[in-house]
Structure 1
Amino acid sequence: MTVVFQKPRRARPGDLANATGSPRSAAITARQQAALGAALAGRLRFYPRGYAASGSGPFYTQRTILSLTRAGLLKLSTTMRFATATKRAREIYSS
């Protein structure tokens, strides 16, 4: 019997169909807070290493960005190339 290993599937624009669910009440992690802070300062762009405000980093994983999108704090462009903070995130986290 042969075991076939599958590579983890990358996120695709079709995955965002369920991303606009009800907002979560769970606290966000420190890494998510850092990514949200960078998105509040300006939009994040997708690079091969992840999402970042500039090409030199710091970089945030797709998993981090998608979890913030599901929570309703970030909005991804249709092509998943840019991530921006939502109005809700600006109201809650900007100080």
Structure 2
Amino acid sequence: MIKPTVGRVVWYRPGPSDFGKLAVNGDQPLAAIVSTVWNDRMVNIAGFDANGMPFNRTSVTLVQEGDAFPAINSGYVEWMPFQIGQAKKHEAEGEKAA
């Protein structure tokens, strides 16, 4: 699990309640930055839609690797594949050192 911190970049996956409010490009995620951390699985974000227009969301579910995707009417955020790969790399290096 990657611990969320303020300033980290995440992917926002819009939910049905976002349609018509945010410009999207197919199934591509939207770029977002963590602005507040409530816990390991809930954050506030400031993001940009597909046209570069800013938006914000509060109390957004952060889906960690291995979590089930939320079955809710709002969007969620997730880590980018690169971030997941880096976390695994650092974890493996820590295990070697131990």
TM-score, normalisation: structure 2: 0.26
More helix by share: 1
More strand by share: 2
TM-score, normalisation: structure 1: 0.26
